[in-house]
Amino acid sequence: MIPTAFEYLAPTTLDEALSALSTHEDAKILAGGHSLIPTMKLRLASPRYLIDISRISDLAYIRESGGQISIGAAATHYMVESSGLLKQKCPLLPETAAYIGDVQVRNKGTIGGSLAHADPAADWPAAVLAAGAEIRVRSSQGERTVKAEDFFVDMMTTALRPNEILTEIRIPVPPPRTGSAYEKVKQPASGFAIVGVAVQITLDANRSCQQVQIGITGLASKAFRATGVENELKGKVVNDQVLAQAAQKAAEGVEPLSDIHASAEYRAHLARVHTRRALQRAVSRI
């Protein structure tokens, strides 16, 4: 099917885009379009206005300043995947980007768009949770920052208000002796994550866990931090056994989804297995 009729707007500044968003009630932001256009083609979504932000300068960038890396919301998955700066300082993100969709999707889809869409099986939410990211959001009234843990509210629902645009993702540069990994169980046809686990772990000189952040996607109606696992690890000297035991708590505190691809029990099992693998891989990289 083709989408229902819509008006197309292509603002050249962020203020124009924000004003268009406030003026038109049934409007959606268009970035890479790889989450929105498929739903429009199925006529599951029929926004009357599409506000294309691809012509706005300085929304797609990756730069470092003051111990933080800032990623513009319109940065494509490919930009993140191939960024030398990220590969060196925060390799979790380029690693995760490589698992998203396919080459064509990665060349058009954007990190901001994916986060705003908040598909329960998307990869970025898990990675930004594990990286301890902050999400910058702007409206015509001003800007605000939302912590990643507070950003994902429910299935396809974020803390973004109807008149706001996601502008930037900020990540603290991980300290030395930090390892990270992303484990994904791909649904073979769609490529979505049946379960995806992102881990960022910092050890001190005695190999005891100083800091750990685990983001899990695909398991529940939204991506979440596996705090059960994190609490089991903090302060403990880390070895394969400790990691395996902590990983058993991966599905704690959430209700796993059940669908034709995987039952709730199987999903929970996958989460436990792949949390263990992600932890072990992350630690081996330290």
| Interface residue with another protein, options 157, 237, 239, 265 (CB under 8 A) | 157
Phi, psi of 63 (to 5 degrees): -140, 160
Least distance (Å) between residue 143 CB and another protein:
20
| Interface residue with another protein, options 55, 88, 141, 155 (CB under 8 A) | 155
Q: Of the ranges 107-115, 152-160, 173-181, 276-284, which one interacts with another protein (CB under 8 A)?
A: 152-160
Query: Which of residues 38 and 175 has its CB atom nearest to another protein in the complex?
Result: 38
**What's the token pair of residue 86?**
């990220």
Q: Of the ranges 38-46, 169-177, 198-206, 240-248, which one interacts with another protein (CB under 8 A)?
A: 38-46
**Considering only CA atoms, which of 56, 71, 46, 48 is closest in space to residue 16?**
56
CA torsion, ordered 168, 134, 159, 258, to nearest 10 deg = 110
Query: Which of residues 77 and 117 has its CB atom nearest to another protein in the complex?
Result: 117
Q: Of the ranges 10-18, 72-80, 104-112, 251-259, which one interacts with another protein (CB under 8 A)?
A: 251-259
Least distance (Å) between residue 155 CB and another protein:
4
Query: Which of residues 98 and 156 has its CB atom nearest to another protein in the complex?
Result: 156
| Interatomic CA distance for residues 277 and 255, integer angstroms | 22
Other CB atoms within 10 Å distance of the CB of residue 144: 13
Least distance (Å) between residue 54 CB and another protein:
18
| Interatomic CA distance for residues 58 and 140, integer angstroms | 18
Q: Running DSSP on this structure, what letter comes out for residue 54?
A: T
Is residue 22 close enough to count as binding another protein by CB under 8 A?
Answer: no
Give the torsion sign (CA, 15, 61, 76, 114). Answer: negative
Q: Of the ranges 75-83, 175-183, 201-209, 258-266, which one interacts with another protein (CB under 8 A)?
A: 258-266
Residues in CB range of 84: below 8 A, 6 or more apart: none
**What's the token pair of residue 87?**
């590969």
| Interatomic CA distance for residues 195 and 208, integer angstroms | 27
Q: Of the ranges 75-83, 100-108, 118-126, 175-183, which one interacts with another protein (CB under 8 A)?
A: 118-126
Contact between 52 and 30 (Cβ < 8 Å): yes
Binding site for another protein (CB under 8 A): 28, 36, 39, 42-47, 117-118, 120-121, 149-150, 153-157, 192, 220-221, 224, 227, 253, 255, 257-261
